[in-house]
Amino acid sequence: MAFCLAIVLCLMGINDYVVSRAEDSQRKNVALAENGTSIFIDKTHAWGQENGRDIKKMIDGNRNTFGQGNTGNDVNSQINLTLEFPCTYTVDSIVLYGIGPQGFPEEFTVSAYTQERWKQVASVKECTYQETGNTVNLDAPVDCVGIRITITKNGVDGEWGGQLYLSEFEVYGVESDVVIPRENAAAAANGATISYDRGTVDISKMIDGETAGDVSNLGIIGVEDEATETYITVDFEGSYHIDTVRLYGDNRKYCFPKDFTIEAFSGGEWKTVCTVTGSELVGDCNDYPFDGIDCTAIRLHITKNGMENSEGWQGYAIYLSELEAWGTAIAGNVALASKGTKASTSDPNDWAEKKHVSIRRWYH
């Protein structure tokens, strides 16, 4: 019967209508953790985490649980909240649920990770909390593997000042067949290698793909004191356009780097792409998004170290279970590398080989 109806509608010249209704029937909230979506934030809140306000509660499908971001009580603190999907979806809208007017984002942009990388798809100003959820329709439906909101004005919570509280972050769309490449260039599985400037201890656990923060899974670098300076370098196989570094730490929260810059080797020199001060690990990992850059390596330049204060040992060190660098391979240059350009470099510190395969192309 439905088939006959479709035939009739096609004959009537309204087959587009039939197609769009079919898609609508598969439209769903694609942001649920239970379906494989992950959530990351660049301003974590230790107090919120300890009091059950994990950001994962923003995608747990329960509007009675909420997560908290760290505004530093500053209304204008910029916060990036990123969702990554397990596959490509054609997304048309997002819906934000708060816990009341307090701590509800007032001003933000929405970006999607598309075939053109991160791209702004909506801008919202003077957003007022709605109990039934605040829907933001994208400028147009977009094929993407991630959605990010960049909040530039946070809601106020009485005496606390600016705060971010969200009970659900929903994204609506349908599954798409479009392929959007995005990978972790810093994975050993992708040919990356890792080294540091102060010694030769094996820290390959930082790029082995295992993110669990158990002691047995940590890459460990010993340091003398809080101010011991260290460079940790991940050398990619080929060139990538990188826009995010993600650091997984010790699940006891010990020895996470406090102050550091993230630097990218691009156009024959190291360029600082992100400056971090006073960081603390909350949850499993911290996310550091920045304007994308074409590069052949990423390094952490750590200038202030975290400490361990357990019954077994007190002192400073660097504990990381994984260092990831997310973006897309630059096809031509990877092909060049696979033909032996990189393999012919005997000295790991000889960057000359890589200079000609690095093209500077900032993401807009």
> Is 284 a binder of Ca ion (CB under 5 A)?
no
Question: Rounded to an integer, what distance in angstroms lies between the CA atom of residue 117 and that of residue 3?
Answer: 39
Place of tokens 């499993």: 284
Which amino acid is present at 76? N
**Contact indicator for 222, 321 with CB cutoff of 8 Å:** no
> Is 246 a binder of Ca ion (CB under 5 A)?
no
Site for Ca ion in 11-50 (CB under 5 A): none
Q: Which of 23, 92, 183, 208 binds Ca ion (CB under 5 A)?
A: 208
**Contact indicator for 96, 78 with CB cutoff of 8 Å:** no
Query: Three-state DSSP class for 57?
Result: helix
Count CB-CB contacts under 10 A for residue 133: 15
Q: Min. distance of Cβ 166 from Ca ion in angstroms?
A: 8
Q: Min. distance of Cβ 325 from Ca ion in angstroms?
A: 14
Q: Min. distance of Cβ 298 from Ca ion in angstroms?
A: 16
DSSP 121-146: EEEE-S----TT-EEEEEEEEEEEEE
Q: 16: which DSSP letter?
A: H
Q: Min. distance of Cβ 31 from Ca ion in angstroms?
A: 11
Q: Which of 45, 148, 205, 301 binds Ca ion (CB under 5 A)?
A: 205
Q: Min. distance of Cβ 348 from Ca ion in angstroms?
A: 20
The span of 27-35, 81-89, 161-169, 310-318 binding Ca ion (CB under 5 A) equals 161-169
> Is 170 a binder of Ca ion (CB under 5 A)?
no
Which amino acid is present at 65? T
CA angle 125, 151, 51 (to 5 degrees): 130
Helix (H) or strand (E) holding 23: helix 15-24
The span of 16-24, 186-194, 202-210, 295-303 binding Ca ion (CB under 5 A) equals 202-210
Which amino acid is present at 329? A
> Is 210 a binder of Ca ion (CB under 5 A)?
yes
**Contact indicator for 107, 124 with CB cutoff of 8 Å:** yes
Q: Min. distance of Cβ 65 from Ca ion in angstroms?
A: 4
List Cβ neighbours of 269 (8 Å cut-off, separation of 6 or more).
none
Which residue, 210 or 259, has its beta carbon nearer to Ca ion? 210
Question: Rounded to an integer, what distance in angstroms lies between the CA atom of residue 324 and that of residue 318?
Answer: 16
Which residue, 208 or 259, has its beta carbon nearer to Ca ion? 208
> Is 84 a binder of Ca ion (CB under 5 A)?
no
Q: 337: which DSSP letter?
A: I
**Contact indicator for 275, 261 with CB cutoff of 8 Å:** yes
Q: Min. distance of Cβ 209 from Ca ion in angstroms?
A: 7
> Is 57 a binder of Ca ion (CB under 5 A)?
yes
Which residue, 208 or 226, has its beta carbon nearer to Ca ion? 208
Q: Which of 114, 244, 321, 328 binds Ca ion (CB under 5 A)?
A: 321
Could you tell me how many residues of this chain bind Ca ion (CB under 5 A)?
11
> Shortest CA distance to 190 belongs to which of 237, 233, 234?
237
Tokens of 353: 């080989």
Which residue, 32 or 136, has its beta carbon nearer to Ca ion? 32
Tokens of 31: 């942001």
Question: Rounded to an integer, what distance in angstroms lies between the CA atom of residue 292 and that of residue 295?
Answer: 9
Q: Min. distance of Cβ 216 from Ca ion in angstroms?
A: 10
The span of 61-69, 72-80, 283-291, 306-314 binding Ca ion (CB under 5 A) equals 61-69
Q: Which of 62, 275, 277, 310 binds Ca ion (CB under 5 A)?
A: 62
Which residue, 96 or 121, has its beta carbon nearer to Ca ion? 96
> Is 263 a binder of Ca ion (CB under 5 A)?
no
Q: Min. distance of Cβ 67 from Ca ion in angstroms?
A: 7
For Ca ion, the binding residues (CB under 5 A) are: 57, 60, 62, 65, 167-168, 205, 208, 210, 321-322
